[in-house]
Structure 1
């Protein structure tokens, strides 16, 4: 009976190789281009950050991360980004609170202002990453150029290639891109075999990842103590930490529409963004300089010395960083939420380790990141992948899969940290 059923089940139609081969060169070009644009913007932002946070305060005889300088710099960043949103053609694109990883193609005239606002944000210190705006820019450029240079390809191909390429470049591996694309395809009617659908995006993601790796050599592993064998106590620890992180993340998600509405009532980007910058400066004064910026380098600093802060200090940094992410995403700064959310998860995991030294820091960190990303991104595969990559321990993957189950039950079907144009949360 089982054999008869298997014989009767229709196989998904497979695209012939000749239909996939013409996509390889465009996918390679998009992958390399997306990575180079990301590296260019990130490199320029890092240079400007060094000037603003090292050269300038040293020249003025001011402490680099003194309370006064953090207040000045974050408020000034709000003013500069507000000027871009107000005066520069394109106005830095749509409200960033409405943007996610799956970007809507923007007109070419909007893209320069969006890049400028993103670079200023990355250099100035707000707690956002480059992912959402860079994906939006790469999607817009790929679609605009692709339609002109290779008009025979369907227009819908270019956004998928650009998204996969940028995600591959951001994480330094095409695996994350493949997971995001496959998760997006899961909600659509099947058209051919899964690997036929992800073939070209995977090529673009691989090209973006290889380009980033060869040029910048990024490293996401935090070099925490390895987990070679899982114990029963680790299972309980993982379930508790991932669920607690998801609950904390959902607090920010539920607050998001209200905080966004509060800044929207100010009615003008030259009011909302400087006000947001000032609030971010006050939060930085409370949480310290490690709660500034996108959080990638800062979480590495935390992980290098997991016993260097008390549980209260780790918890303060986690809560302050989450609040900073909430404010920065609400007041109009252009940026993504993944990297600061990862920092929050790392700080939460180290809080657990500092509170109960028997908690392995790798278990605490990976499960904290998993729960926080599930709440903030609602991307299950990317959350699992990111949490696993940070600790680079094969044994922990099973633990993360188990921990993801109660955390997912806490977040699924509930509001997301992304708004519709009318200000209501997407579910």
Structure 2
């Protein structure tokens, strides 16, 4: 007699085939959203760059002050805190929710009236020097606008469609390639009901097209490049593999120190209870950190990473370590006190500086391996996004051999960070896990 234990469970159902007729209506919305998201990103970036030139070059030159003197950095960062604090205080919707509670495009769309204040706060932050990037506010703004306009233009389309298209398009615009968006969207879809009743590729069709349109628009208008131009990296050996694993794990541990401190720093600034106290004080602290670490520890960090990589042997291990620690503390303070910005790009700087510190200590560690592994481990700890961490680490170094090393190094580093508190808080200040 057979028992219930002998019964073989039925195989999981195969997703139904999706016809081209189902996917073709996505083409025009995806293209429109992709181009629109890229144009908004480029407009905010261009405005921030022009304002940065005025604040850090034209104005100090007119006053006869060194643009990156310790005094000017303290004045500028504190002033940026005051200006962003005014926007957060007075703008409709407070320039969006507390950025410490936000992830990478995972939240409900903001109301349209919140978007102008959020973009102004982000542009002021990018120009003023705090150690945050543009990604979270730009994604939130694009998602809000795409959702609002899309549901009006095509009321029958699901709202989730516009959110996924805008998120993918903005990631494509930010990185100049649709690959990052495809990886992030596929990671977000894991374990969730598919919007389209078909395969994963069917569900990636619209977002990938939007990301391609966004990345192509950015490439044609701005020609971004993440390649650091590091010394050529040839065939890896066992020493390179060991170095990649050790550096990635060490960088992940360093990043987790900041993650564990994040709720306490956030609570300390939150005790001031007003943006006109929290942000100016945060700006003052960032100014003091800038005076300590120098010009390279300011701003989002992507251009500054290029300066580090241009001369991987030009600094001592202590100098690289100092840059990494100051930048990491600056990232922690900027994210906790209320500046509107993302954490990916400054984390890239921290990881690169850490990797070059290891290279300076152990010259046998190739600078390409050190930078890629340092960025990988740091991003895993700060973002908890496996694919985006792996992609960013690999794209910085123009070598196919790096990809295999980073894939292996990501596994032990992931074991160190998974299941632990994240650098994102709930409304009551509790870290997400």
TM-score for the superposition, normalised by structure 1: 0.97
Matched, 1:67 2:75: no
Q: Deviations over 1:324-364 (max 9, x none)?
A: 00000000000000000000011011101111111100000
Q: How many Å apart are 1:8 and its aligned residue? A: 6.2
In the alignment, is residue 96 of structure 1 matched against residue 102 of structure 2?
A: no
1:282 aligns with 2:288: yes
- Deviation track 1:50-103 (CA, whole Å, cap 9, x = no partner) reads 000000001101111100000000000000000001112221010010111123
What is the distance in 1 between the residues matched to 2:301 and 2:75? 20
- Gapped runs of 5+ residues in structure 2? 1-7
Specify the alignment match of 1:54 in structure 2. 57
Give the aligned partner of residue 361 of structure 2: 355
Q: CA deviation at 1:396?
A: 1.1
Within the candidate set 205, 227, 244, 1:199 is matched to 205
Q: Which residue of 2 aligns with 1:142?
A: 146
**Structure 2 residue 323 is the aligned partner of structure 1 residue 317:** yes
Give the 5 Å matches for 1:154-165: 154-165=158-169
Look up the match of 2:309. 303
- Match among 399, 407, 411 for residue 405 of structure 1: 411
Aligned-residue offset at 1:9: 6.0
Residue of structure 2 in register with 1:35 after alignment: 38
Match of 1:188 among 187, 192, 199: 192
Q: Which runs of 5+ in 1 are unaligned?
A: none
2:112 is aligned, of 95, 105, 108, to 108
TM-score (normalised: structure 2) = 0.96
Tell me, what secondary structure is at the counterpart of 1:395?
Answer: helix
Distance verdict in 2 for CA 1:421–1:17, change over 3 Å: same
Q: In the alignment, which residue of structure 1 is the partner of 2:134?
A: 130
Task: Identify if the C-alpha distance between structure 1 residues 327 and 9 changes in structure 2 by more than 3 Å, giving closer, same or farther.
Answer: closer
Distance in 2 (CA, whole Å) between partners of 1:203 and 1:334 is 28
* Residue deviations 1:97-124 (CA, integer Å, cap 9, x gap): 0111123200011000000000000000
Where 1:162 maps in the other structure, the secondary structure is: helix
User: Which of the residues 341, 344, 350 maps onto 1:338?
Assistant: 344
Displacement of 1:189 in angstroms is: 3.4
Divergent runs of 4+, >4 A = none
The CA deviation at 1:11 is: 2.2
CA RMSD of aligned residues (A): 1.2
1:176 is matched with which residue: 167, 180, 184? 180
CA distance in structure 2 between the partners assigned to 1:392 and 1:160 by the alignment: 29
Shift of 1:255: 0.5
